[in-house]
Structure formats: C-alpha cells, structure tokens
C-alpha cells in the first residue's frame, strides 16, 4: 500500500499501459484520477477500481488545459496517453503529424504545466512520468511522426527535469519496447515485422503492460528519489542490440 493517501493523475487510463498503471496504483492504495477519450473505458475502469474520471480529447489544447485544471491538485502525474499512425515518410500529411504531436507531446506539456503550477505555488514536491518509447531512439520505418513526437517528449522531459527539479519535482521518461496493448496490435500486427523486433530483445518477449506499470510506480515513488531527467528504456535489452 505504498501509495496510500496519494493521488495520481493518469492520462490514457482507458486502455493498455495507462489502464494497467491506474489499476496497479489503486491496488497499492492510490486515489486515481483517470483521464482518457472514450467514456466506456472509464465506465468499465470505475467498475474495477475506485477512481475519478475525466473524459477529454487530448488533441484539443484548450479542452486539455481545462481537464487538467479540473484534475489537480494531485500528488503525482503519469502522462501515458499516446497515439500512432503508420505512414511511409513520403506520405505523412501535416494533419497527421500535427495530430500525433498534439496528443503525444503537446498534451503532456499542458497537463504537466497545470500539475506543476499547483505544486510550485503550494511549495510541495512531486513526480512526473512521461511515457515515451524506444521509438525516440530508433528510426522505425513508417513511424516518422510517432518517432519525432517521442524524441521531442524525451527532450521536453529533460527541460522539465531541469526547471522543475529546483522545486523538488522529479520528471522522468520511460521508453518501452513493444508492449502487448491495443496500440501494439495496430503497429506490430505484421508477423514478419514483429519477429524482427522480437529477435532483437535478449529476454525474448515483448513487454506486458504490467511490466511497464511497475517501472512507472517506481519512478513516481520516493524509492527513486535521486532519479531525474531520465529516458529509461523498459525494453528487455532491445537497446543494447
Ligand atoms: P493504447 O492505445 O492501448 O491506449 C492508449 C490510451 O490513450 C487509450 O486509453 C486512448 O484512448 C488514450 N488516448 C489516445 N489518444 C487520446 C486522445 N486524443 N485523447 C485522450 N486519450 C487518448 O496504447 P498503449 O497503452 O500501448 O500506449 C500507452 C503509451 O505507451 C503511449 O504513449 C504509447 O505511445 C506508449 N508506448 C506504447 C508501446 C506499445 O508497444 N504498446 C511501446 C512504447 C510506448 P482511446 O482508445 O479512447 O483513444
């Protein structure tokens, strides 16, 4: 019950890694504020854990700021919501690029601003985890907008860690490999592509959402008190190959 008495805002809590994180946090005693786009996902989450729910499209900057302002104060923040589209570089449209950037990079910034302004104004410490991807380090074919958005999220994390660290708010990114969620089904359903990826992971398997959630909880907790500004692969060793 390590998070007893703590509140945590989790974006993308409807599915996949965000949902697993929300459930693990609740299991360890946290009060979760779950933010996502699809109301049915939040209804079903509410039937599994005690949480407060906010429905918002994080591609909409004004709506995102309003939702984040309504969600705070909370002790910790997990920016997990993310989206992807598969297009060869030559076919990426500006609309797709802007949309992916809005959800994967701009929304984490907006939500973190609202979270951190409240913490700084009240002079209390905190921790933020931004869910990035190994895609920020690797030029995966057909993932131009996604890779760019995650590379930018890592860079944003470092700036936040620098500026907010002075206020005792730690900010880290985690960079998972393929994790078995609805998003992975969309991006890695081609068996040949999946096999190539798998062959580079020494542990010989893709991640489960719970593997990633455990690392998120560690980075939120005081047990990682001296970790700040990381882009931490959660990848079974993929990055050493
Ligand atoms: P899922 O697609 O399984 O879940 C993503 C969640 O984010 C959903 O609840 C989704 O809601 C929500 N979300 C997406 N777009 C928006 C939006 N515009 N507004 C509000 N909520 C939104 O993805 P994963 O769990 O796989 O991914 C979670 C994070 O992990 C992402 O940031 C992803 O980039 C990252 N990641 C995932 C990997 C993987 O292999 N799965 C690997 C590396 C990183 P809805 O379904 O309603 O759109």
Instruction: Report if residue 236 sits inside a domain.
Output: no
- Region class of 176: left (phi > 0), else alpha (psi between -120 and 50), else beta: beta
Closest CA to 77 of 220, 221, 218, 231: 220
pLDDT tens readout for residues 9-22 = 999 999 999 999 99
How much distance in Å is there from the Cα of 142 to the middle of ligand 1?
18
Residues 6+ apart with CB under 8 A from 74: 7, 8, 9, 33, 115
Instruction: Report if residue 44 sits inside a domain.
Output: yes
| Parallel, antiparallel or unpaired: strands 169-176 and 31-36 | unpaired
* Per-residue pLDDT, 182: 87
pLDDT tier at 80, thresholds 50, 70, 90 = very high
Instruction: Report if residue 208 sits inside a domain.
Output: yes
Instruction: Report if residue 2 sits inside a domain.
Output: no
Domain count within the chain: 1
In this structure, what CATH number is given to the domain that contains residue 152? 3.40.50.720
Instruction: Report if residue 158 sits inside a domain.
Output: yes
Residue of 9, 10, 12, 34 with the most ligand 1 atoms within 8 Å of its CB, for mutation: 12
* Atom 10 of ligand 1: nearest residue by CA position: 12
From first CA to last CA, the distance across the chain in angstroms is 37
pLDDT tens readout for residues 158-189 = 999 999 999 999 999 999 999 999 889 888 88
**For 206-226, what is the mean pLDDT?**
98
* Per-residue pLDDT, 183: 86
How much distance in Å is there from the Cα of 171 to the middle of ligand 1?
20
pLDDT tens readout for residues 196-208 = 999 999 999 999 9
The answer to whether 32 and 11 have CB atoms below 8 angstroms apart is no
pLDDT tens readout for residues 90-127 = 999 999 999 999 999 999 999 999 999 999 999 999 99
Instruction: Report if residue 113 sits inside a domain.
Output: yes
Supply the range of the domain harboring residue 61: 7-231
* Per-residue pLDDT, 115: 99
Instruction: Report if residue 73 sits inside a domain.
Output: yes
* Per-residue pLDDT, 95: 98
Question: What is the distance between the alpha carbons of residues 29 and 26, in angstroms, rounded to a whole number?
Answer: 5
Residues with CB under 6 A from ligand 1: 12, 14-18, 36-38, 41, 57-59, 80-83, 103, 131, 133, 176, 178-179, 181-184
- Write out the catalytic residue numbers: 146, 150
Tell me the pLDDT of the chain averaged across its residues: 97
Residues 6+ apart with CB under 8 A from 17: 80, 131, 176, 179, 181, 209, 212, 213, 216
Question: What is the distance between the alpha carbons of residues 199 and 110, in angstroms, rounded to a whole number?
Answer: 37
* Atom 42 of ligand 1: nearest residue by CA position: 178
* Per-residue pLDDT, 17: 98
Instruction: Report if residue 1 sits inside a domain.
Output: no
């Amino acid at each position: 019950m390590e998070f007893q008495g703590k509140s945590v805002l989790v974006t993308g809590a409807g599915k996949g890694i965000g949902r697993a994180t929300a459930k693990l946090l609740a299991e360890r005693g946290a009060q979760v504020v779950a933010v996502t786009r699809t109301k049915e996902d939040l209804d079903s989450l509410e039937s599994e854990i005690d949480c407060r729910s906010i429905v918002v499209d994080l591609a909409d900057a004004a709506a995102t700021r309003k939702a984040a302002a309504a969600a705070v104060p909370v002790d910790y923040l997990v920016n997990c919501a993310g989206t992807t589209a598969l297009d060869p570089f030559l076919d990426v449209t500006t609309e797709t690029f802007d949309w992916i950037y809005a959800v994967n990079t701009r929304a984490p910034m907006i939500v973190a601003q609202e979270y951190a302004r409240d913490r700084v104004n009240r002079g209390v410490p905190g921790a933020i985890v931004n869910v990035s991807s190994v895609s920020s380090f690797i030029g995966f074919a057909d993932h131009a907008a996604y890779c760019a958005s995650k590379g930018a999220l890592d860079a944003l994390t470092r700036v936040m860690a620098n500026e907010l660290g002075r206020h005792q708010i730690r900010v880290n990114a985690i960079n998972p490999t393929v994790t078995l969620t609805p998003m992975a089904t969309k991006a890695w359903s081609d068996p040949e592509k999946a096999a190539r990826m798998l062959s580079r992971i020494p542990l010989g398997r893709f991640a489960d959402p719970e593997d990633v959630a455990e690392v998120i909880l560690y980075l939120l907790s005081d047990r990682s008190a001296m970790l700040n500004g990381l882009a931490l692969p959660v990848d079974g060793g993929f990055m050493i190959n």
